[in-house]
Structure 1
Amino acid sequence: MPAQVCVARIGAAHGVRGAVKLWTFTEDPFAVKDYGPLSTKDGARHFELTSAREAKDHLVVTFKGVATRNDAERLNGVELYIPRDKLPETDDDEYYHADLIGLDAVTTVGELLGRVIAIHNFGAGDIIEIAPPNGTTILLPFSNAVVPTVDIAGGRVVIEMPKEVEGDKPGDAEP
């Protein structure tokens, strides 16, 4: 199965005629209409958008075959995917999260830190999560200062470890 990229998540039912709230993870929220049928990660279920309109911070959409509120309620939380090759190419210094997952994370001197397992954004910017071969995962800002090199073809990201992380000062630990 080709690499899959999550482009949207279905939310709560909206109204009584099968509409749902849809949170998209695309630059243009309406781009989800251009990718053809969307599917679950395992490819077992497919969804064809029949209408979409903008709401406050999401879209309100209907899917072919979803005609009642009960049908719509059963879809809450379903993530929708497309094959990676259906996405447009990125500009320089732009990356799809899916392209970064699994890359080796190495220091500027080539020491292996681990593998990239996720990119998060909790509202203050992207955070790269690295799983070392053993030990606790590392969360770092995904910025040019901390990640100066992304080499997708070479299968690695280079990490410049920050000198100090706010809150990590000697003596701050409680007894």
Structure 2
Amino acid sequence: MMKNLIAVGKVIAPHGVRGELRIMPLTDFPDRFEQLSSLLLEDEKSLTIAQVRYHKQYVLLKFKGLDSRNDIEWLSGKILYIPRDQVMPLSEGQYYQFDLLGLEVFTEDEQYLGKLTDILETGSNDVYVIEQEQSGSKPLLIPALKKVVKKIDLENKKMIVVLQEEWDDHAH
């Protein structure tokens, strides 16, 4: 069930007494709350959005039918989701982290390197952490650069990379 849900916010606490909730956005597009008509809870219960406004780094949300602090207290700490098909489209060559995690990583000559298990954000470029199959092997760290990552095929859950010479010692 959770596979097709994407977290977009976490309920921090009620805001005021009229049923507004303070939400910490978990999305790179916090203004996208204005385009949504509803949000889902983990159990896929849908909440219809009545009002969206912003306060400091928070999004203040009001849901239809939840008009007092008592109506919303139970939502504190809950994660709010959208269906996978409602995520913002990215431009060509950009990917969501949740789409990349779990990809099988191969060299251009089809040598299997391992699974992409983590993404480190280093500032200049992201670094993909590839967990190798052999036990005791250190994870491969592959920079997310066009010259290294040759192809990302989400449909087949594959990534093709070119290893640089200095990595070849570690790859075998």
| TM-score normalised by L of structure 2 | 0.70
Structure 1: runs of 5+ lacking an equivalent: 165-175
> Does the 8 Å contact 2:36/2:49 carry over to 1?
no
**2:152 paired residue number:** 150
Matched to 1:156, the amino acid is K
> Does the 8 Å contact 2:120/2:126 carry over to 1?
yes
Matched to 1:104, the amino acid is E
Structure-2 separation of matches of 1:150 and 1:56: 37
The answer to whether residue 97 in structure 2 is matched with residue 92 in structure 1 is: no
**1:66 paired residue number:** 66
Q: Root-mean-square deviation (CA), in Å?
A: 3.2
> Does the 8 Å contact 1:24/1:32 carry over to 2?
no
Deviation at 1:137, TM superposition (A): 5.8
The 5 A counterparts of 1:1-175 are 3-43=4-44, 45-119=45-119, 121=121, 126-133=126-133, 135=135, 141-144=143-146, 147-160=149-162, 163=166
Task: Please list the CA deviations of residues 20-67 of structure 1 after superposition, one character each: whole Å capped at 9, or x if unmatched.
Answer: 221224443231232332112441x22222111112112111122333
Structure-1 separation of matches of 2:143 and 2:76: 31
SS in 1 for 2:33: helix
Deviation at 1:19, TM superposition (A): 1.7
Matched to 2:50, the amino acid is T
Aligned residues: 163
Structure-2 separation of matches of 1:121 and 1:148: 20
Structure with the higher fraction of residues in helix conformation: 2
The percentage of aligned residue pairs carrying the same residue is 29
Structure 2: runs of 5+ lacking an equivalent: 168-172
CA gap of 1:78–1:155, structure 2 versus 1, over 3 A, is same
